[in-house]
Structure 1
């Protein structure tokens, strides 16, 4: 008797469709957590050029996945430091010329010539941070970042 009830219950559960089906009954992709496409946001590109501003402040949400393209125009050897920011995020990958690097963490990045890299990360620790050009003193050479 019990085995018959179990069989009927299992059959009913299988016929009901996946737990992630849309309200209208259509199958949708299963949830994928923090790396789900619905959780991803592209940030404005950062352009590294000698004497030019880095861009508008970022306002990020903890637990959200972000991607940013950082491009150097080749006007000089230039980099970005931000140890506090890099400790407040989980770096998923750094992509340079189609090569994916999955580091345990970052401290800084540097361009010796023109090029682009993409960094994918999850904001983790709320606070105020920045990315800045080493040795630069101007306020426009700093990208303010807030993680809420």
Structure 2
């Protein structure tokens, strides 16, 4: 029985089922370690312009920042509830105000401005963030978590 439990435990905690962080030595800071940070993802909200270049490929278990900038040409929202539930959100920063939410569905910009949020990619899959009510491919950004 002990051998069976040991084998089951080893199978559970080894192999590709575990998230692979970007660095080998996470030290005391764990997943928030500097070596575990991916490139910043830039998203632009502007009337008639693409959201960004995609697809964006993320590594499960890695820490990322997304910078969403609206130029004020229109009142524009950004929705992506499936993506926002596939990540662990650390914080959202708007005008130097830090918010640590449990979950969000969308952002909306009434004027020009920038919102930044940091997160750890968790659930592998293919997701989209998009401008609600639009159908154009340039009005959506594909994000893949591997």
TM interval, shorter chain, is 0.7 to 0.9
Corresponding residue of 1:12: none
**Structure 2-normalised TM-score?**
0.79
CA RMSD of aligned residues (A): 1.2
1:30 and 1:132 mapped to 2: Cα distance? 36
In structure 2, runs of 5+ residues without a counterpart are 1-25
Q: Give the superposition deviation at 1:30.
A: 4.4
1:44 and 1:125 mapped to 2: Cα distance? 18
Corresponding residue of 1:42: 39
| 2:27–2:33 Cα contact (<8 Å) kept | no
In structure 1, runs of 5+ residues without a counterpart are 1-28
2:40 and 2:31 mapped to 1: Cα distance? 17
1:42 and 1:135 mapped to 2: Cα distance? 29
Corresponding residue of 1:100: 98
Matched, 1:131 2:129: yes
| 2:51–2:139 Cα contact (<8 Å) kept | yes
The worse-fitting range, judged by mean Cα deviation, of 57-66 and 40-49 is: 40-49
Q: How does 1:69-148 map to 2 (within 5 A)?
A: 69-148=67-146
Bigger CA radius of gyration: 1
Q: Over residues 107-143 of structure 1, what are the superposed CA-to-partner deviations in whole Å (9 max), with x where a residue is unaligned?
A: 1111010000101000000000000000011001000
2:138 and 2:119 mapped to 1: Cα distance? 24
Aligned pairs, how many?
120
**SS of residue paired to 2:74:** coil
1:34 and 1:130 mapped to 2: Cα distance? 24
Q: Give the superposition deviation at 1:55.
A: 1.1
1:98 and 1:111 mapped to 2: Cα distance? 16
